[in-house]
């Protein structure tokens, strides 16, 4: 059972920690993709000082002793001290690709997969249930899903719309994301308008639906100011390269950033389109070819790989993570948490799959779950590292060696989570 309890203090002092700051990588100039242990900013025998949701000091305890003494002597300010007992402290994890706001779990489709049958419900069922849900039900589902993610270490999550596929429903989903983001113990939510996700039941032609998206739904989405990105599912049998280009170009013209589901189920040309549009991210990439890899490297687009999806669907190919990194593509990882193809909410599970299946090193895996996804979300200075003056989202592990993150599989080694909220400290302990 997961239990959470906030430490109601204005200031927090974490001591006796091994802090992996990720600061050298976060401060690196340019788009170099290679990562090694020297990029992690590891500080042993460390202390971390937090006030008003921000890091006010991080370093060896001996070097910060005078600052800590001043910090503790301030009158009329309550300070909590957390002894990490030598454990690893990481920046809060950043999940750069999720569909975590939905109603309509597809357990029967899971049963069909196990039986070797074609799933019958599909995304249409989730669209039907999400459209039918009241706002309270939608918020309850999102709150539950985000709590699962948070308790396993995620403090920032990109969340996509795309399970309503009409103007009222998409706006309702985005409003719910804004409300979820404001929750005192919720992960920070980065909203994406995934309008080109599937064909809704009232449409029978993808071109006509793209017209609807661009002319009638997108203007309302852009005016709300909630969504920071637009996204399309560029795949054979779904949105073509031409249709995805039209929708995403309209999103960019409306002031949204661009993300793209690319080459997930076959080689669809999605990676080339992402590079052409200089998208913030190209996601999945199981079937990307060498031309696509080279194009992504030249464009600076970040690859967001979702190995839990390939595992769940037992896909014939996995994304070529080593080829991407060696070509110079910054490579992030994500859960793709959704009800139909990746009911996985744990980036710890993703880390294990990245190490075991994709061949990432421990340092590459940490970068792929902190700095690189934060950059892909335009949040380099808000998430993904522990630096003085920056938000203090952090997690405390049950282990003392950072290489053990991604080694363990099937459990939760996160001992505690801090979701930084100015004026509303929430240091949450997660215990199983």
| 83 shares its domain with 134 | no
Q: Which pLDDT score, from 0 to 100, does residue 432 have? A: 36
Res. 3: pLDDT tops 60: no
Same domain, 78 and 101: no
In the structure, what pLDDT confidence band is assigned to residue 425 with cuts at 50, 70 and 90? low
Residues 114 and 248 occupy one common structural domain = yes
The CA distance from 84 to 332, in Å, is 28
What domain count does the chain have? 2
Q: For residue 1, is it within any domain? A: no
Q: Note whether 352 and 257 are same-domain residues.
A: yes
Within a domain: 135 = yes
Containing structural domain, residue 63:
11-91+383-429
pLDDT for the residue 11: 84
The per-residue pLDDT for range 146-196, each reduced to its tens digit, is 999 999 999 999 999 999 999 999 999 999 999 999 988 899 999 999 999
Same domain flag for 110 and 259: yes
pLDDT in tens, 355-402: 999 999 999 999 999 999 999 999 999 999 999 999 999 999 999 999
Co-location of 271 and 193 in the same domain:
yes
Structure tokens at 209: 């639906």
Q: What is the pLDDT of residue 1?
A: 43
Does residue 34 sit within a domain? yes
Predicted confidence at residue 69, as pLDDT, reads 84
**300, 339: one domain:** yes
- Residue 4 confidence class, pLDDT cut points 50, 70, 90: low
Q: Domain boundary residue among 376, 401, 418?
A: 376
User: Residue 138: what pLDDT?
Assistant: 98
On whether both 81 and 125 belong to a single domain, the answer is no
List Cα–Cα distances, 408 to 60, 152, 310, 352, in angstroms. 28, 13, 20, 7
18 and 162 in one domain?
no
CATH label of the domain that carries residue 81: 2.30.40.10
> Which pLDDT belongs to residue 71?
79
Q: How far apart are CA 410 and CA 87, in angstroms?
A: 20
**Within this chain, do residues 274 and 417 fall inside the same structural domain, yes or no?**
no
> Do 329 and 263 sit in the same domain of this protein?
yes
Are 87 and 131 in a shared domain? Answer: no
CATH of the domain at 231: 3.20.20.140
Quote the pLDDT of residue 345.
Answer: 98
């Amino acid at each position: 059972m997961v239990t959470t309890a906030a430490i109601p203090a204005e200031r927090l002092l974490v001591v006796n920690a091994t802090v992996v700051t990720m600061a050298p990588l976060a401060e690196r100039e340019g788009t170099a993709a290679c990562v090694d242990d020297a990029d992690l900013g590891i500080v042993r025998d460390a202390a971390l000082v937090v006030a008003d949701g921000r890091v006010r000091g991080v370093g060896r305890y001996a070097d910060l002793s005078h600052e800590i003494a001043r910090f503790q002597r301030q009158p009329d300010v309550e300070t909590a001290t957390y002894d990490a007992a030598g454990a690893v402290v990481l920046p809060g994890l950043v999940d750069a690709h999720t569909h975590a706001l939905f109603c309509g779990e597809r357990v029967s489709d899971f049963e069909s997969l196990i039986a070797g049958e074609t799933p019958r419900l599909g995304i249409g069922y989730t669209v039907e249930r999400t459209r039918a849900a009241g706002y309270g039900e939608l918020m309850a589902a999102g709150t539950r899903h985000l709590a699962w993610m948070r308790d396993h270490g995620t403090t920032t999550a990109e969340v996509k719309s795309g399970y309503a596929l009409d103007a009222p429903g998409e706006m309702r989903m985005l409003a719910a994301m804004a409300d979820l983001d404001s929750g005192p113990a919720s992960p920070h939510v980065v909203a994406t308008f995934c309008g080109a996700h599937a064909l809704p039941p009232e449409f029978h032609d993808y071109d006509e639906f793209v017209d609807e998206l661009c002319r009638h739904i997108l203007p309302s989405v852009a005016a709300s100011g909630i969504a920071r990105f637009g996204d399309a599912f560029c795949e054979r049998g779904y949105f073509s390269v031409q249709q995805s280009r039209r929708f995403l170009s309209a999103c960019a013209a409306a002031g949204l950033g661009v993300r793209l589901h690319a080459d997930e189920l076959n080689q669809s040309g999605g990676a080339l389109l992402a590079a052409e549009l200089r998208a913030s991210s190209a996601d999945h990439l199981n079937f990307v070819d060498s031309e696509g890899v080279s194009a992504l490297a030249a464009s600076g687009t970040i690859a967001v790989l979702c190995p839990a999806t390939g595992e769940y669907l037992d896909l014939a190919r996995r994304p070529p993570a080593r080829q991407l990194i060696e070509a110079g593509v910054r490579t992030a990882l994500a859960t793709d948490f959704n009800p139909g193809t990746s009911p996985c909410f744990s980036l710890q599970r993703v880390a294990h799959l990245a190490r075991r299946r994709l061949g990432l090193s421990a340092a590459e895996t940490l970068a792929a779950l902190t700095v690189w996804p934060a950059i892909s979300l335009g949040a380099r200075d808000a998430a993904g590292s522990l630096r003085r003056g920056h938000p203090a989202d952090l997690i405390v592990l049950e282990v003392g060696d950072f290489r053990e993150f991604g080694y363990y599989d099937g459990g939760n080694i996160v001992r505690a989570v801090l979701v930084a909220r100015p004026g509303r400290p929430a240091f949450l302990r997660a215990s199983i």
